[in-house]
Amino acid sequence: MDTDVFVAWFEEAARLVRQDRDRLTELDAAIGDADHGTNLDRGLSEVCKALAGTPPETPAQVLTVAGVTLIRRVGGASGPLYGSVFRQMGKVLESPVTLAGFSVAFEGGVVAVERLGKAALGDKTMVDALAPASRALALAVKDGATVREALDQAARAAAEGATATIPLQARKGRASYLGERSVGHEDPGAASAALIMAALASVAA
């Protein structure tokens, strides 16, 4: 997994989020403040601009630029939360990036967002997509899967995790203010996390 793959990851994530921007914003309209699609669309296009402006030399640099840009440029909760995932990954990822190294870095990124957001699995947040993706990735590494298989499994776990937020009651973020009324809607951050993992699976294949 070289530097180009990581740049392509953010380009593809930006493309998928732009394509689904209105759906993400509608999900946020139901249980939040109707800005998740626009927040993340803007944030990821800023990331792409930053990556194009100063081409990074290593995968870790790509992740650090992405993390810092999202923290600085996205007003909503999701900017600092996603930013912390990527910035943490950038701190530990060593080149050349192996699947096992990526898996460990991703796990650390998920721990960082859980700490920052004080969110756990089942709280109906992006963690509900990211944590299952991380677990799937670690299992795939243990099973000796190829990069393609491992990232496909991670993307599938993220998508399933996002869908599984529908019946949950939100315990963190804006949606938690709704109490029981948050039940029956997919969490927007979990939905976008599934797109971000799908982007990685499609570029690294």
Q: Which residues lie near ligand ADP (CB under 6 A)? A: 28, 32-33, 35-36, 39, 76-78, 81, 117-119, 125-127, 172-174, 187-190
Which residue's CB is nearer to ligand ADP, number 56 or number 188? 188
DSSP label at residue 180: G
Which residue's CB is nearer to ligand ADP, number 15 or number 174? 174
Which residue's CB is nearer to Mg ion, number 51 or number 77? 77
Identify what 119 binds: ligand ADP, Mg ion, none; CB under 5 to 8 Å per kind.
ligand ADP
The residue number whose beta carbon is nearest to ligand ADP equals 189
Identify what 187 binds: Mg ion, ligand ADP, none; CB under 5 to 8 Å per kind.
ligand ADP
DSSP label at residue 122: T
Q: In 159-168, which positions are buried (b, 16+ CB within 10 angstroms) versus exposed (e)?
A: bebbebbeeb
Q: Does 41 bind Mg ion (CB under 5 A)?
A: no
CB of 132 to ligand ADP, least distance (A): 14
Q: How many CB atoms lie within 10 A of CB 111?
A: 15
CB of 139 to Mg ion, least distance (A): 32
Q: In 27-61, which positions are buried (b, 16+ CB within 10 angstroms) versus exposed (e)?
A: bbbbbbeebbbbbbbbbbbbbbebbeeeebebbbb
CA distance 184 to 171: 14
Which residue in the set 22, 33, 57, 143 belongs to the binding site for Mg ion (CB under 5 A)?
33
Which residue's CB is nearer to Mg ion, number 81 or number 154? 81
Secondary structure class of 205 (helix, strand, coil): coil
CB of 33 to Mg ion, least distance (A): 4
Identify what 172 binds: ligand ADP, Mg ion, none; CB under 5 to 8 Å per kind.
ligand ADP
In the chain, helix, strand, coil percent, each to 5?
A: 75, 0, 25
Q: Taking every pair of C-alpha atoms in the chain, what is the biggest distance, in angstroms?
A: 48
Dihedral (Cα; 109, 113, 119, 125), 10-degree rounding: -90
Contact footprint for Mg ion (CB under 5 A): 28, 32-33, 35-36, 76
